[in-house]
Amino acid sequence: MDLLIKNGTIVTAIETYQADIAVSGGKIAAIGTDFNEQDFHDIVDARGKLVLPGAIDGHTHLALPFGGTISSDDYYAGTRSAACGGTTTVFDFVQQNPGERMLDAVKRRDALAAPDAAVDYSFHIGVGDVSTDELLDSMEEAVEYGIPSFKVYMVYDFGVDDGSFYKVLQRAKKIGALVGVHAENKDVNNLLVQQYLAEGKTSAWWHYMSKNELVEGEADVRAVNLAKMAEAPLYIVHLADKMGMDAVTEARRQGYPIFAETCPQYLHFTNEVYKRDRGRDFVCSPPMKNQESQNAIWDGIANGNITTIATDHCPFKQAEKDWGITKKDGTPGDFTTIPNGCAGVENMYPYVLAQAGAGRLTFNKAVQLCASNPAKLFGLSHRKGAVRVGLDADLVLYDPEKEFTITNEAMHGDTDHTIWEGVKLKGYPIATYSRGRLVFKDGEFLGRRGAGELIKCKKLSFHGPEL
């Protein structure tokens, strides 16, 4: 056999126990206590360490064209960074072009990802055009291929109207797909932008104000209502506000299959960051909200109404963030000319686990939110998301005592700054295995470009808020 990880404390979504893990052919071959060490090529002593399933980041934007540039982590840099933060699978978004069949969009994007990805990956399809029956029908072909999740944007020029959103929900329900939604009220957002700019309000604060609690909350409530009307499952991505949290909580209480994702940045930062000198570095959509919203999301984690944590990883270089002051062409910029997004893929698991270490949630709950729930929701629990015999040996060794201060220098992506600079964590991953291969150890990336593979996902296998 290839590898024995011995003496560690295994943490799953539901239990914590001491056992050894035998790895063979990239899979977890056995879990037990009396293995013969001579049977193993490599032996790792994990005494005093936690052994966790690798995290699944259900929301990244690698090499995303946005705002006149492209996000600075390509599939290699983004997955390298993921590995070094204990994330062994990332989901990226493929944006369907007008007139393009869904599966063609996936294949177009996979041609970029496959040669570069250092850990395993899969896709959600951003719906761009369902104006014909043929394009709507093409959803099923993607589902059968192994990409059963779609995302609609209620905001942005490439977003869809409520009718198309509803149509996608209806079809998704029929074919066993999950619809994710980026919920912000597009018309009000656009109107507020025009009003603020006309009043000379150009700083990053006004990005937040134009996408404030109510701008997101109204769209969250509308999305929940559309899903209820269509009797379809719904996944609200990057939920960041109290009104949306309340709507999700109430819908789930009523038994609707409505799920919410939040991101570490909404759990850690509030809208106060937009008052900082470099507030523009924090510009992402949706923006960080007020303390009341942050409290509501933490409550959602405690009471089970947040189902997953993901990152919305979408870094841009500082010079591009500076387009909020002076645009590329040298003319004055404003909050609308700042590319939206921040780095986070390397910070998610360490941040959430450190919160567990600090007693804000349990380690089991952290594993549930970052690994096992995304695996179940997105249809990859046959491969990922747990420490179980037969699953991929995507494993993280975590030292609960290691002190770590996040700096951009210590990160492994391609960007030049991090909104997490200076944040101190107690506890940090010390090793990551991707299908049994060591890809990260003691601060160093040891993986290989192109070693990651596309994970084909199964159709929805849940019916209500059991997650």
Alpha-carbon dihedral 384, 388, 392, 394, rounded to 10 degrees: 80
| Choice between 341 and 436, CB closer to ligand DUC | 341
Give me the residues that bind ligand DUC (CB under 6 A), please: 61, 66, 182, 284-285, 312, 314, 340-341
Q: How far apart are CA 84 and CA 289, in angstroms?
A: 29
CB 219, min distance to Zn ion, A: 11
Contact partner, 12, from ligand DUC, Zn ion, none, Cβ < 5-8 Å per class: none
Q: What is the greatest pairwise CA distance in the chain?
A: 74
| Choice between 110 and 312, CB closer to ligand DUC | 312
Question: Which residues 6+ apart lie within 8 Å of 104 measured at CB?
Answer: none
CB 392, min distance to ligand DUC, A: 29
In the window 166-185, what residues touch Zn ion (CB under 5 A)? 182
Asked if residue 1 lies in contact with residue 29, where contact means CB atoms within 8 angstroms, the answer is yes
CB 24, min distance to Zn ion, A: 37
CB 66, min distance to ligand DUC, A: 6
CB 142, min distance to ligand DUC, A: 21
Q: How far apart are CA 35 and CA 21, in angstroms?
A: 9
| Choice between 28 and 55, CB closer to Zn ion | 55
Query: In 3-state terms, what secondary structure has residue 204?
Result: helix
Asked if residue 261 lies in contact with residue 237, where contact means CB atoms within 8 angstroms, the answer is yes
CB 212, min distance to ligand DUC, A: 16
How many C-beta neighbours within 10 Å does residue 200 have? 8
Where do we find the tokens 């996979």? Answer: 110
CB 427, min distance to ligand DUC, A: 27
Contact partner, 341, from ligand DUC, Zn ion, none, Cβ < 5-8 Å per class: ligand DUC
| Choice between 127 and 314, CB closer to ligand DUC | 314
Phi (first) and psi of residue 271, to 5 degrees? -60, -15
In the window 415-444, what residues touch Zn ion (CB under 5 A)? none
Residues near Zn ion (CB under 5 A), total:
2
Residue 33 exposed, middle or buried by CB count within 10 Å (0-12, 13-18, 19+): exposed
Q: How far apart are CA 8 and CA 48, in angstroms?
A: 6
Q: Which of 312, 322, 346, 392 binds Zn ion (CB under 5 A)?
A: 312
211 binds Zn ion (CB under 5 A): no
| Choice between 256 and 335, CB closer to ligand DUC | 335
Q: Which one-letter DSSP state was computed for residue 431? A: E
Contact partner, 284, from ligand DUC, Zn ion, none, Cβ < 5-8 Å per class: ligand DUC
How many C-beta neighbours within 10 Å does residue 94 have? 26
Binding site for Zn ion (CB under 5 A): 182, 312
